[in-house]
C-alpha cells in the first residue's frame, strides 16, 4: 500500500525515535549509495544540493504546510488524517471535525462511531479514529491537554511517527526537522542526494547536507516542487527552473510548451490544497467540500 500522490505526510507506522536526527547508517552493506552525476564528488553533490535549495527558495518563497490548522492540536490531528489521502481532502474534512471536537479533551470523549463518520472522507477512518482517540486521551491524561514540543514525546502518541512529529515540531513549534514524505523521498533520490529508501536513513543523510536552520523550509520547498513540477510519472522537465542542476533531466517532457501543460496548482493556474492559504500564497484557495447527503 502506498500513499496517495499528494499525501504529504502520511505515516506508514510509528517508529522508535530520539530527540535528534537518526544516526547515519554504518557498515558498507547498510548504505545504498546514490549514483552520482557523472564525475561528481560528494563535495560537488553537497554544493549542488545547496544551490538547488537556494533556487527553490526563489521559486517558492511562499512554501508552507498545505494542511489548514490554527494550533498544534489541529496540525497534529490533520497530519494523522493525511495518511493515504490528499491534504485537500483533509482540509475539506477538518472544519466540521474541529467544530465538534476543538480540544483534546473533547475528542477524547467522542463516541467512536461519531468520530468515524466525521473523518470518513479521508479513508481508513476506523484506524484513524482509533489513533485520534488514543492520542487525544494521551494528551489529556499525560500532557495536560497540550501537544508536547519534543519528538521523543510525540512519537509515543498513537498514530504518530517521525514524519508527523517533524511536521508538528517544525510548523507549530519552530523546531527544525526534515519531513520525509513520498514527494521528498523520490525527489532527493532523483537528484542523487541519497540512495536510501528507508525514511529515517533519508532523513539522516539529508540532515547532514544542510544546516539545521534550513531543514523545515527545505522540506516544504521540495514537496512543493514535487507536487507542482517534478511529478512522479511525468515530470515537467521542460518547464523546470532547476533543470540545469538536475541529473535526471530528460526523464520527463522536455518540450517547454508540452511541459507547461503538466504544471499543477498555482503553477498551472489551479487552486491549491488549503481552504485558508497564507496571505502571500499566489494561487487560489481550494474549494470547501460539497455538502454530503445524510447517511441512512
Question: Which residues are catalytically annotated?
Answer: 163, 181
Q: How far apart are CA 249 and CA 231, in angstroms?
A: 12
**Do residues 83 and 7 lie in contact, with contact meaning Cβ atoms separated by under 8 Å?**
yes
Q: Which three cell numbers stand for residue 176?
A: 527544525
Which residues 6+ apart lie within 8 Å of 238 measured at CB?
Answer: 252, 253, 254, 255, 256, 257, 258, 259, 260
Handedness of CA 143, 144, 145, 147 (dihedral sign): negative
Amino acid at each position: 500500500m502506498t500513499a496517495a500522490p499528494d499525501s504529504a505526510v502520511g505515516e506508514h507506522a510509528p517508529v522508535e525515535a530520539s530527540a535528534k536526527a537518526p544516526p547515519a547508517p554504518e557498515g558498507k552493506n547498510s548504505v545504498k549509495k546514490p549514483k552520482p552525476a557523472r564525475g561528481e564528488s560528494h563535495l560537488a553533490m553537497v554544493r549542488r544540493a545547496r544551490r538547488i535549495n537556494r533556487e527553490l527558495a526563489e521559486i517558492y518563497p511562499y512554501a508552507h504546510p498545505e494542511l489548514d490548522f490554527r494550533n498544534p492540536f489541529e496540525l497534529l490531528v490533520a497530519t494523522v488524517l493525511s495518511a493515504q489521502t490528499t491534504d485537500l481532502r483533509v482540509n475539506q474534512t477538518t472544519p466540521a471535525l474541529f467544530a465538534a471536537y476543538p480540544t483534546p479533551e473533547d475528542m477524547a470523549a467522542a463516541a467512536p462511531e461519531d468520530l468515524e463518520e466525521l473523518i470518513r472522507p479521508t479513508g481508513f477512518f476506523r484506524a484513524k479514529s482509533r489513533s485520534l482517540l488514543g492520542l487525544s486521551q494521551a494528551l489529556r491524561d499525560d500532557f495536560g491537554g497540550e501537544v508536547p514540543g519534543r519528538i521523543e514525546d510525540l512519537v509515543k502518541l498513537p498514530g504518530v511517527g517521525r514524519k508527523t512529529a517533524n511536521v508538528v515540531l517544525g510548523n507549530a513549534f519552530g523546531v527544525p526537522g526534515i519531513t520525509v514524505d513520498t514527494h521528498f523521498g523520490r525527489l532527493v533520490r532523483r537528484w542523487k542526494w541519497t540512495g536510501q529508501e528507508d525514511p529515517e536513513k533519508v532523513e539522516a543523510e539529508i540532515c547532514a547536507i544542510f544546516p539545521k536552520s534550513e531543514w523545515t523550509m527545505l522540506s516544504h520547498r521540495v514537496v512543493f516542487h514535487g507536487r507542482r513540477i517534478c511529478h512522479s510519472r511525468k515530470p515537467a522537465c521542460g518547464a523546470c527552473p532547476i533543470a540545469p542542476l538536475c541529473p535526471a533531466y530528460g526523464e520527463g517532457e522536455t518540450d517547454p510548451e508540452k511541459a507547461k501543460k503538466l504544471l499543477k496548482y498555482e503553477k498551472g493556474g489551479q487552486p491549491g490544497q488549503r481552504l485558508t492559504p497564507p496571505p502571500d500564497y499566489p494561487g487560489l484557495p481550494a474549494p470547501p467540500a460539497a455538502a454530503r447527503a445524510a447517511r441512512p
